Amino acid sequence: MSIIRTKNSGAHRKTIERPLEIKSIKDDGTITGYASVFGEIDSYRDVVVKGAFNRSLDNRYRAKGRPGVPMLDQHDTRTPVGLWPIDSIAEDDHGLLVVGKVNMDVQRGRENHSLAKQGALSGLSIGYTTTLDEWDEAGQVRILREVDLWEISMVTFPAGDSARLTSVKSISGLESLSDCELFLRDAGLSKSQVVAFVSRVKALAMRSDSADADAIAVKNALQILRT
C-alpha cells in the first residue's frame, strides 16, 4: 500500500460531504448526535479516522478556555444558533459524539429547534480544515489524520453539498475541488468519472513539497479543464 503523508496548514475550510442524523432533540433545546463518523468514505474519497479531532479540541478550545464549538445554521457564520459545550464533545469508536444546546432566546434558534422537532431539519455537519492527512494510492482515498474543527452545523438532511452550493457557470469561477466536481457533473460526466478525476489531481498535488496541497490540486484541476 502506497501512503503519502502531507501537512495542510494553509488548507481552505471545508464542510463534511455527508450530513449525519440528529439522534435526539429535547424541549429545552438539547441536541444529541454524531457530527462525524469514522471509517466511512465520502463522495470526495476522504475518510476521517479515530483521533482526528483530539488535538483541535485540546488546542483550539480547552487550552484557550473557550466554552465550546459554535453551533451554526447551515454553515452560515452569520447565524449562530447555539453551542456545543466542549465537555459534551467526545470521540468514541463510532465517531464524534456531540451534545449541544440550541439558544432558545435567539429567534433563529427557536426556529431551528421547531424544524428539528418536526423532522424538517435533522442533519449535523462539520466545518473544518485538514491539518494532517495521508493519501492511500492503493485505495485511492485520503485519510484525514488530524482536522481542525471550526463549527458544527444543523443542516437539512439528506441534503449534500450539491444542494448548498450555487451552480457553477464557468471555469473562471471555480475556486475549489467541490466547484470542479459540480462543473464536471453539470457537463455530463458520471460520478465515477468525476471521483477518478478529483482523486487523480489530489494524488498529483500531494506528491509536491508544498504545504498547501489543496490549492495545488485546484490549480492542476483548472489547468486540465481549460485544455
The mean pLDDT value of the chain amounts to 80
Asked which of 126, 159, 192 is the last residue of a domain, the reply is: 159
* Active-site choice (36, 56, 75, 181): 75
Catalytic residue among 151, 153, 178, 181: 151
For the chain, how many structural domains are there in total? Answer: 2
Active-site residue flag, 192: no
Same domain, 82 and 133: yes
The boundaries of the domain holding residue 185 are 165-227
Q: Please check whether residues 26 and 125 belong to one and the same domain.
A: yes
The secondary element (H helix, E strand) that includes residue 145 is: strand 141-155
Q: Are 25 and 120 part of one and the same domain?
A: yes
- If asked whether residues 26 and 60 sit together in one domain, one would say yes
Let me know whether 170 and 150 are in one domain.
no
28 & 117 share domain: yes
- What would the mean pLDDT of 37-47 be, rounded to a whole number? 82
Mean pLDDT of 120-136: 89
Q: What would the mean pLDDT of 147-164 be, rounded to a whole number?
A: 68
Compute the distance between CA of residue 61 and CA of residue 53 in angstroms, rounded to an integer.
Answer: 11
47 and 71 fall within a common domain:
yes
Contact residues for 144 (Cβ-Cβ < 8 A; gap 6+):
46, 47, 48, 49, 52, 130, 132, 133
Residue type, 124: L
Report if pTM > 0.75.
no
Residue 105 is predicted with a pLDDT of 96
For 221, list phi and psi in degrees, rounded to 5: -60, -45
For residue 154, pLDDT over 70 is answered with yes
Share of the chain above pLDDT 70, in %: 78
Mean pLDDT check: name the lowest of 29-33, 197-201, 212-216: 212-216
Lowest average pLDDT, out of 1-5, 44-48, 168-172, goes to: 168-172
Tell me the pLDDT tens digit for each residue of 15-38. Answer: 776 677 788 899 999 999 999 989
How high is the pLDDT of residue 164?
Answer: 29
35 and 143: one domain?
A: yes
10 Å Cβ neighbour count for 120?
11
Active-site residue 178, yes or no? no
65 lies in the same domain as 122: yes
Active site residue 91: no
Domain boundary among 137, 159, 181: 159
Which residue among the candidates 36, 56, 122, 125 is catalytic per the annotation? 125
pLDDT in tens, 72-93: 998 999 999 999 999 999 999 9
* pLDDT for the residue numbered 161: 36
User: Amino acid identity, residue 123?
Assistant: G
- Judgement on whether residues 63 and 99 belong to the same structural domain of the protein: yes
**Short-list 101, 102, 109, 104, CA closest to 79:** 109
| Same-domain pairing of 136 and 191 | no
Query: Among 159, 181, 208, where does a domain finish?
Result: 159
Query: Are residues 171 and 154 located together in one domain of the fold?
Result: no
